[in-house]
Amino acid sequence: MAEYVIYETVAVLQINNPPLNVLSHHVRRQLMSGLQQALQDTAVRSIVIMGKGQIFTAGADVKEFGTEKALSDPSLPTLVEAVAASNKPVVTAFHGTTLGGGVALALASHYRLAASSVKIGLPEVEIGIVPTCGVSQRLPRLVGLQTAVQMIVSAQTMSAQQALTTGLLDKVVSGDLLSEAVGFAKSVEVQALADRRVGSRAVPGADTAEDVLDAARKRLVRRSRGAIAPLTCLQAIQASLLPFETGMKREAELGQYLWTSWQTGALRYAFLAERTVKRWYLPGNKTVNYRTAEPLVINSVGVLGAGTMGVGITICLLQAGLKVVLIEANKTQLDKAVTLIQRSLGGRSHSKQLSHQAMQLRATTDYRQLGEVDLVIEAVFEDLALKRKVFQQLDSVTKPQAILATNTSGLDIDKIASATQRPDKVIGTHFFSPANVMRLLENIYGRHTSPETIATAMQLGATIGKVGVLVGNCPGFVGNRMKGLNFTEAMFLLEEGAEPQDVDKVLEEFGFAMGPFRVSDLAGGDVHWRRRIQAGLTTEQGPPPNTPLLYRQGNRYCPLADMLCMQGRFGQKTGAGWYRYESGSRAALPDAVVHRLILKHRQDNGLQRRNISSQEIVERCLYPLINEGFRILEEGLAAGPQDIDVIFLLGFGWPRHTGGPMYYADKVVGLGILLRCLEKYRALHPRSAHWVPSSLLQTMATQGTSLTAWAAGSRL
Ligand SMILES: CCCCCCCC/C=C\C/C=C/C(=O)SCCNC(=O)CCNC(=O)[C@H](O)C(C)(C)COP(=O)(O)OP(=O)(O)OC[C@H]1O[C@@H](n2cnc3c(N)ncnc32)[C@H](O)[C@@H]1OP(=O)(O)O
């Protein structure tokens, strides 16, 4: 609700809609009625709008979008224009975070005041809409085009000091906001309003406008990769160069275009899915869930292994204020890791100058130092026998109640747990590289993992700023199990006529930051080669004896990646992989060696080259992965499609504007079309089991059920 209180001649309208004061329909109604009351009351000479609680407002109520309430009277645009039209001075005073619609209210006001700790931002582009309600027209008039473009298109927040410097704020206050705002409102009651209306001003620096807009356009064309909101927002900003009323009309047209686009639905879904997965439960036993399981308190964590992952994990733990004991048997490696960690945390090599966070690190080669930690994360080489040995040791040196987590990216959690006397305290915590940057934490429960252990791993994820997604135990878990199929098909496309750069280009146009071959070169081709060797699919010398080159373990197989690895072409780190890299450069250059290798492979094996369309590349690379997602749901390895989508959005660079693989299948492709497509490719490629449609998909497509609706019904 919004509260209405009079302080002598000042009417104060306070938004009170915990926890984030979002501008839901009932709040807008009360604000509008408060505004009208203040305008009619002759004793009132000025008006203050502010918020109660932690923040001013997180903006429009995203959960209302797509429902009738979003545009019900008074809609946000109507409320904002009523503020702008007020003939009594309106002062917006904000604190905490002020986003989206909150900024719209402020820009329509005559004065803007804020607490010094405020963060101001326009996240609309991230949910695929234009900052309407006059924001795209008033903001450039107030702060100039350059800053407006930066705020609207980057969606980054601004500090109070920055906002003051750019002219967005009139005053930053450090005392009590309510009394400061009331005092300020009184002081401006006699001031004329005409030049306080932002809409009546001209955009400053209009002479350089074209340059600013052109530069921004070029940047966005390069970066947007199929997302329509950023460039549409830029068009709206450009309209601020027109007379205000004309610009407002243009803003409304562009606003309508995005408001009704499928991409805003997908982006909103992604926003909510990231929050939904926190409400975890076991798909096979819903009584075990985030409400019923209590996490243990974790103050100190051991990290075992100081390679790239171990270092990244240590950095996030220290950044979250936890104490860390880092164990590495190789002293040189340990010293190198400590330097990297200290550098990353802003400390220097002498302990006196270390940052407080870095001082919470104890680095040692001695396992026994793990005796007092509450939880250990093992990050040694990806080898089951090694991990089992390590877990046996951990079991003997750590206190009995300590949780033992493994950062495996696909090994069997139960097999690792069975090396200990405490399988209930063993869990998978799969970080993504670079671990201190990537926001995903895939948590994998084994057969014996206790609810308390799961709750602790999920809580730890939140503590270190990650989005934890709980999944069941299977080879590759959810992410790598699905992703593997994308690369398999990408390689088959090479056998049939494509080049690595063709496949990468199409998937980059679809929205991925990098196509599968560039990703493979970045990650290092040897990682998966070792896994294929361990799985008996290949050997260091080529196919296992008596094995046909193009078939392994009953399925079609492409040996091209193995052939590259046998030549020592592991990707960027060796200067060559699917592409070549000139010294010190990360630019992937098409390589004649690879071209000839593919050509020879086709010739040697009688594989016919044909032209492959972009559509086929998308279908071949993405649909098997999605089909596997349905299988994962069917097998009860993920609680819902949101969990799978969040894994792909945050761990694999899946383009956010498509919502994730499961949302994309459900809402963009359509389950019926997906099913028919899988059946078509199954007929063409009968030796690839991944084209066999999952029964869940078949049932849903046949019954015309929506995956998202099905999932919404089952979520806790
Ligand atoms: C005819 C032409 C068409 C034009 C129509 C015009 C209509 C008006 C439209 C446009 C103008 C205005 C636009 C906007 O304001 S868009 C909304 C902008 N705001 C956001 O995107 C806010 C995003 N929120 C955040 O970034 C964070 O939540 C945070 C930084 C504010 C707080 O973070 P944190 O403390 O970590 O909390 P959570 O993120 O976990 O959130 C807690 C809880 O609150 C829910 N929530 C957050 N923001 C919103 C919101 N804006 N609306 C509704 N609900 C919100 C969040 O989902 C969590 O709830 P849970 O899912 O149930 O756990």
What pLDDT digit, counting tens, does each position of 188-216 carry? 999 999 899 999 999 998 889 999 999 99
- End-to-end CA gap in the chain: 27
Q: Residue 237 in contact with residue 212, Cβ under 8 Å?
A: no
pLDDT value at residue 711: 85
Residue 544 Cα to ligand 1 middle (Å): 55
Average per-residue pLDDT in the chain? 96
How far is the C-alpha of 162 from the C-alpha of 487, rounded, in Å? 45
State the pTM of this model. Answer: 0.95
How far is the C-alpha of 698 from the C-alpha of 714, rounded, in Å? 19
Q: Kindly indicate whether the ipTM for this predicted assembly is greater than 0.95, answering yes or no.
A: yes
Domain extent listing, the chain = 2-259, 285-471, 515-604, 614-714
Query: Which residues have a Cβ under 8 Å from the Cβ of 69 and sit 6 or more positions away?
Result: 24, 25, 61
pLDDT digits (tens, 9 = 90+) for 570-606: 999 999 999 999 988 999 999 999 999 999 999 999 9
Nearest atom (ligand 1) to Cα of 75? 7
- Return the residue matching tokens 């998966």: 528
Residue 396 banded pLDDT, cuts 50, 70, 90: very high
pLDDT value at residue 352: 54
Three-class DSSP category at 229:
helix
664: amino acid identity, one letter: Y
Q: Which residue's CA is the closest to the ligand 1 atom numbered 23?
A: 58
Q: Which residue's CA is the closest to the ligand 1 atom numbered 63?
A: 275
pLDDT value at residue 129: 98
Whether the upstream peptide bond of residue 74 has omega within 30° of 0, thus cis, is yes
Q: Which residue's CA is the closest to the ligand 1 atom numbered 57?
A: 272
pLDDT value at residue 346: 83
Helix or strand holding residue 622 (H, E): helix 614-634
Q: What is the 3-state secondary structure (H, E, C) of 302-354?
A: EEECCCHHHHHHHHHHHHCCCEEEEECCCHHHHHHHHHHHHHHCCCCCCHHHC
Q: Which residues line ligand 1 (CB under 6 A)?
A: 20, 22, 58-63, 70, 75-77, 97, 99-101, 104, 123-124, 127, 129, 132-133, 252, 255-256, 259, 272, 275
pLDDT digits (tens, 9 = 90+) for 150-172: 999 999 999 999 999 999 999 99
Fold match, 285-471 / 515-604: no
The 10 Å Cβ neighbour count of residue 587 is 8
Q: Residue 489 in contact with residue 332, Cβ under 8 Å?
A: no
Q: Which of 98, 275, 279, 439 to mutate to test the pocket of ligand 1 (most atoms within 8 A of CB)?
A: 275
Mean pLDDT of 254-261: 97
How far is the C-alpha of 483 from the C-alpha of 499, rounded, in Å? 20
Nearest atom (ligand 1) to Cα of 122? 18
How far is the C-alpha of 381 from the C-alpha of 372, rounded, in Å? 24
Q: Which of 15, 17, 20, 83 to mutate to test the pocket of ligand 1 (most atoms within 8 A of CB)?
A: 20
Closest CA to 143 of 120, 161, 166, 121: 166
In b/e form, how buried is each residue of 269-290, taking b as 16+ CB within 10 angstroms?
A: bbbebbebbbebbbbeeeebbb
Residue 647 Cα to ligand 1 middle (Å): 21
Q: How far is CA 574 from CA 525, 529, 538, in A?
A: 10, 15, 21
Residue 117 Cα to ligand 1 middle (Å): 20
Residue 604 Cα to ligand 1 middle (Å): 58
Three-class DSSP category at 662:
helix
Q: Is the pLDDT of residue 77 over 60?
A: yes
pLDDT value at residue 348: 53
Nearest atom (ligand 1) to Cα of 259? 3
How far is the C-alpha of 521 from the C-alpha of 570, rounded, in Å? 7
Residue 403 Cα to ligand 1 middle (Å): 35
Mean pLDDT of 358-366: 92
Q: Is the pLDDT of residue 61 over 70?
A: yes
Residue 286 Cα to ligand 1 middle (Å): 28
The 10 Å Cβ neighbour count of residue 225 is 16
Nearest atom (ligand 1) to Cα of 279? 63
Residue 2 banded pLDDT, cuts 50, 70, 90: confident
Residue 468 Cα to ligand 1 middle (Å): 20
How far is the C-alpha of 451 from the C-alpha of 262, rounded, in Å? 38
Query: Which residues have a Cβ under 8 Å from the Cβ of 13 and sit 6 or more positions away?
Result: 2, 3, 4, 31, 34, 35, 38, 47, 48, 49, 50
pLDDT digits (tens, 9 = 90+) for 413-456: 999 999 999 999 999 999 999 999 999 999 999 999 999 999 99
Q: Is the pLDDT of residue 688 over 70?
A: yes
Q: Which residue's CA is the closest to the ligand 1 atom numbered 27?
A: 58
Q: Is the pLDDT of residue 347 over 60?
A: no
The 10 Å Cβ neighbour count of residue 349 is 10
Nearest atom (ligand 1) to Cα of 124? 16
CA 207 from centroid of its chain's CA atoms: 38
Nearest atom (ligand 1) to Cα of 130? 10
Mean pLDDT of 115-143: 98
Nearest atom (ligand 1) to Cα of 256? 2
Domain 614-714 sits in CATH 3.40.50.450: no
How far is the C-alpha of 177 from the C-alpha of 52, rounded, in Å? 11
Q: Residue 323 in contact with residue 303, Cβ under 8 Å?
A: no
- Looking at CATH, the fold of the domain delimited by 515-604 is given as N-(1-d-carboxylethyl)-l-norvaline Dehydrogenase; domain 2 (1.10.1040)
Q: Which residue's CA is the closest to the ligand 1 atom numbered 58?
A: 275
Q: Which of 31, 55, 56, 62 to mutate to test the pocket of ligand 1 (most atoms within 8 A of CB)?
A: 62
Whether the upstream peptide bond of residue 434 has omega within 30° of 0, thus cis, is yes
Residue 353 banded pLDDT, cuts 50, 70, 90: low
pLDDT value at residue 350: 52
Mean pLDDT of 453-465: 98
Q: How far is CA 1 from CA 74, 101, 139, 428, 560, in A?
A: 14, 16, 27, 44, 63
Q: Is the pLDDT of residue 67 over 80?
A: yes
Mean pLDDT of 621-634: 98
Q: Is the pLDDT of residue 685 over 60?
A: yes
- Looking at CATH, the fold of the domain delimited by 2-259 is given as 2-enoyl-CoA Hydratase; Chain A, domain 1 (3.90.226)
Edge-first strand listing for the sheet containing 403-406: 361-364, 323-327, 300-304, 375-378, 403-406, 426-431, 440-445, 467-471
Q: Is the pLDDT of residue 338 over 90?
A: yes
The 10 Å Cβ neighbour count of residue 260 is 9
The 10 Å Cβ neighbour count of residue 207 is 7
CATH number of 285-471: 3.40.50.720
Nearest atom (ligand 1) to Cα of 71? 7
The DSSP call for residue 548 is -
> For a pLDDT cut of 90, what percent of the chain falls above it?
94
Residue 710 banded pLDDT, cuts 50, 70, 90: confident
Q: Where are the beta strands (DSSP E) in 403-528?
A: 403-406, 426-431, 440-445, 467-471
Q: Is the pLDDT of residue 349 over 70?
A: no
Q: Where are the beta strands (DSSP E) in 512-581?
A: 551-552, 555-556
Q: Which residue's CA is the closest to the ligand 1 atom numbered 8?
A: 76
Residue 61 Cα to ligand 1 middle (Å): 6
Nearest atom (ligand 1) to Cα of 55? 31
Q: Which residue's CA is the closest to the ligand 1 atom numbered 61?
A: 275
Residue 460 Cα to ligand 1 middle (Å): 24
Residue 230 Cα to ligand 1 middle (Å): 19
